[in-house]
Amino acid sequence: MNILITGGASGLGLATAEAVEKEGWRALVVDVREPDQRFDHVTADLADRGQAERAVHELAERAGGLDGVVTAAGIDACGRLEDVPADDWERVIQVNLLGTAAVVRAALPYLKRTRGKVVTCASTLGLRPLSDASAYSASKFGVVGFTRGLAVELRGEVGVTLLIPGGMRTGFFDGRPEQYKPGPEAGLNDPADVAQTVVFALRQPTGCEVRELVVCPSTETSWP
């Protein structure tokens, strides 16, 4: 199977690409950064709809179609609304929500041919907001609503799964002020373990769908 993965250069995206390859499937990676050279890839900024669409079409045509899409790309801009520059705040929405929609939209013609699957990546902060994370929560609440609507829209044509992960041990927290980094007591998940749940959703037979998956550390504080 050909599985397109956004954000595949690091974090959950990279872990998913590695898990996909271990299944004997083909990982097709889209990221703003150059990913590991072992994966077929295209670099693109998902805040730019044209770049997102180009990347999907290029990889799908190169691979001869798509059987699945996993939208793991995501960014954050921590701080109170009045303190986060407007451009930074809006870029979070552009990448996390609008980029997700652009990738899925571009992939739909290919996925309908194969009755493939979409796995979108929201967050526990898309169910329960926290202070100083309004951009991220707004984007992930949007992904939740987008995915639930998509599942209704595409039923019988394309499988749709909403992944809602809690905190993971990735570079996502690098470069943040200390108050926005997980403390040493935080029991974060290994992204490789979360990637296995993505593979589980992708592996389901046609017509059988895992609608939503909440995957979080047992000590997760942002759920329920």
Active site residues: 136
88 phi and psi angles, rounded to 5 deg: -65, -40
Residue that is written with structure tokens 């801009």 in the block: 77
Alpha helices (H) along 40-170? 49-63, 86-93, 99-114, 134-153
Burial grade of 48 (CB within 10 A; 0-12, 13-18, 19 or more): middle
Which residue, among 153, 139, 122, 152, has the nearest Cα to 223 in the 3D structure?
Answer: 122
Which residue, among 153, 146, 17, has the nearest Cα to 73 in the 3D structure?
Answer: 17
Q: How far apart are CA 117 and CA 120, in angstroms?
A: 10
Q: Nearest 10 degrees: CA dihedral of 95, 104, 168, 211?
A: 140
Q: Note whether 203 and 152 are within 8 A (CB).
A: no
Residue that is written with structure tokens 């730019």 in the block: 48
Which residue, among 158, 169, 182, has the nearest Cα to 69 in the 3D structure?
Answer: 158
